[in-house]
Structure 1
Amino acid sequence: MNEGGRIGRIIRITVFYAATLLVWEALVRFLQVPEWLFPAPSHIIDVIAEKNAVMLFHTLATLQETVLGFALALALGILFAVGIIHFPILRDTLYPTLIMFNSFPKIAVAPLFVIWIGIGIESKIANAFLVALFPIVINMIMGLVDMDPELLELVRAMSRSRWVLFWKIRLPHSLPYLFAGCKIAVSFAVIGAIVGEFISGRTGLGYLVLSANSQFNTPLAFTALFYLVVMSLGLYGLVILAERLMLPWYHREPAA
């Protein structure tokens, strides 16, 4: 995409969201919707200005749980995928086990983490890890096996070492798949952390939403959701940035 097209896209997105906020504000005021039922954007802005320090405190708590859970899922996800590809015993045992665990409803598993690990940050990290692990493993496996058979035969003919094949061919080829999985996983990790906070949180945006709802403080709940969206988009953007920095060849536009 050229510079003019990129600027035009930014303008269109900005105009769309600005118009949405204006219509939202106008409808709430025209229909005289109570603040506790559905607050106007101006009410949410007032809460942001008044409680910014509190919001940042809870945002950092959720961010810590999310990042640690995602990082653990990334490290073990890569390790599991490589092991499943290279060792038949893991392919026959670990892979079906991961599929089985992924089929469990995550909100039902979250209370078990509280029983096993406690009500501290560890149970939220475990929940974020659990929901983020599967997309990373699956996408990494796809990248490792989705290879050109002729290229594999050529490399095998040049070198008998399967580790040379892995480091020189399979791993670089799998990185775009891995980043695709990370984009999904980092969003799932946020959801996992929030679910953990719903179950046993004393801090975090999930706890704040639950607390605000119990007090019918809808503007505060909307504000917490706003911070949550900004945090999620920021993490997603960081994954995209890391992908572009590590895989410039994958995003390079063809010459005209």
Structure 2
Amino acid sequence: MKKFIKWIFSGWMLILFFVGFFLFWEYSIPLFDIPRYILPAPSEIVLKGSADLDKLIYYTGVTALETVLGYIIALILGLGFGIAISFSSILRRTLYPFFVSIEMTPKIAFAPLFISWFGFGLMPKVIIVVLVCFFPIVLNAILAFNSLSNELTLFYQSTGASRLKTFFTIRLPAALPQCFVGFKYAAINATVGATIAEFIGSDKGLGFYISIVTGNMRPDLAFAGIFFLTCLGLSVFGFVTMMEKILIPWHISMKRINK
């Protein structure tokens, strides 16, 4: 009962904060005489965005497809390489330093190259999303699978457990909390990668939409596009967070969040 009351109270606090923020934004425009072409009021953004709703929904679907596809591919590749590098000394000496050096390079710098190679379609956007999501996942996976002491795994194997059973029973559950750090960081990067790729070269998507309406001096529609982009990013991050709660409810970080 106490947790439920606390949840209701925190929810109302969040709602009140956002209501206060948007009310301040709405009434500060005429109060400070801010030109509408610089900063439109929230009511104007809602009004103009509603008139362009069909286009916004369609472009959100395009960006969502790029984001989700790229994130899933990066998740599969990142976990696969992370596990392989963790269990191979040769790969630790070769691939790991290579991945660290590539992580230091701004991945968005590759976007014009991919667009010139693959055109303005889906593929270059997905590749950019894979690049910006892959490295946080693989580096955190390497750290996660290397953090467990060998003594514990050797002890479990001494009871007759096979290496495969030891991996799924001991190593994987112990590595998941650190892996989810990479998963969530990659989820934050996913929509950023897709949007910037659309900025550089695209004929559809929210990044393309925001770029066009900004060039036409329509900040009201640009803010509407940003709102849809924010909702998309929160949806991806929220799904990953939900999976974290489902898969590792026993971890101390989940217990502190649920307090």
Q: Which TM-score band (shorter chain)?
A: over 0.9
- Supply the distance in 2 between the matched residues of 1:208 and 1:159 (Cα, whole angstroms): 59
Q: Counterpart of 1:249 in 2: which secondary structure?
A: coil
Shift of 1:24: 0.7
Shift of 1:150: 4.0
1:156-167 map, 5 Å: 156-159=157-160, 161-167=162-168
- Structure 1 position 7 matched with structure 2 position 8: yes
Shift of 1:47: 1.9
**Could you tell me which residue of structure 1 aligns to residue 223 of structure 2?**
222
Native 8 Å contact 2:49 2:220 kept in 1: no
- Supply the distance in 2 between the matched residues of 1:135 and 1:181 (Cα, whole angstroms): 5
Q: Counterpart of 2:35 in 1: which secondary structure?
A: coil
**Could you tell me which residue of structure 1 aligns to residue 192 of structure 2?**
191
- Supply the distance in 2 between the matched residues of 1:3 and 1:47 (Cα, whole angstroms): 38
Native 8 Å contact 2:74 2:130 kept in 1: yes
**Could you tell me which residue of structure 2 aligns to residue 31 of structure 1?**
32
1:37-116 map, 5 Å: 37-116=38-117
Q: Bigger CA drift: 171-180 or 15-24?
A: 171-180
Identity of matched residues, %: 34
Native 8 Å contact 1:201 1:207 kept in 2: yes
Shift of 1:196: 0.7
Native 8 Å contact 1:29 1:40 kept in 2: no
- Supply the distance in 1 between the matched residues of 2:13 and 2:36 (Cα, whole angstroms): 30
- Supply the distance in 2 between the matched residues of 1:187 and 1:252 (Cα, whole angstroms): 23
- Supply the distance in 1 between the matched residues of 2:23 and 2:64 (Cα, whole angstroms): 30
Shift of 1:14: 0.7
Q: Bigger CA drift: 84-93 or 156-165?
A: 156-165
- Supply the distance in 2 between the matched residues of 1:102 and 1:185 (Cα, whole angstroms): 13
Give ranges in structure 2 of 5+ residues lacking alignment.
none
- Supply the distance in 2 between the matched residues of 1:103 and 1:52 (Cα, whole angstroms): 39
**Could you tell me which residue of structure 2 aligns to residue 174 of structure 1?**
175
CA deviation string 1:13-68 (max 9, x = no partner)? 11111001001111102223222110110111102221111110010110000000
Q: Counterpart of 1:248 in 2: which secondary structure?
A: coil
Amino acid across the alignment from 2:17: F
Shift of 1:115: 2.3
Tell me the TM-score normalized by structure 2. 0.92
CA deviation string 1:124-157 (max 9, x = no partner)? 0000000000111122122212114542331243
- Supply the distance in 1 between the matched residues of 2:155 and 2:36 (Cα, whole angstroms): 68
Give ranges in structure 1 of 5+ residues lacking alignment.
none
Tell me the TM-score normalized by structure 1. 0.93
Shift of 1:160: 7.4
- Supply the distance in 1 between the matched residues of 2:61 and 2:76 (Cα, whole angstroms): 22
- Supply the distance in 1 between the matched residues of 2:43 and 2:186 (Cα, whole angstroms): 33
Amino acid across the alignment from 2:228: Y
Shift of 1:161: 4.2
Shift of 1:9: 0.7
- Supply the distance in 1 between the matched residues of 2:12 and 2:139 (Cα, whole angstroms): 37
**Could you tell me which residue of structure 1 aligns to residue 130 of structure 2?**
129
Shift of 1:216: 0.8
CA deviation string 1:55-93 (max 9, x = no partner)? 100101100000000000000001100110112221111
Amino acid across the alignment from 1:43: E
Q: Counterpart of 2:120 in 1: which secondary structure?
A: coil
Shift of 1:175: 1.6
- Supply the distance in 1 between the matched residues of 2:117 and 2:156 (Cα, whole angstroms): 48
Aligned Cα root-mean-square deviation (Å): 1.8
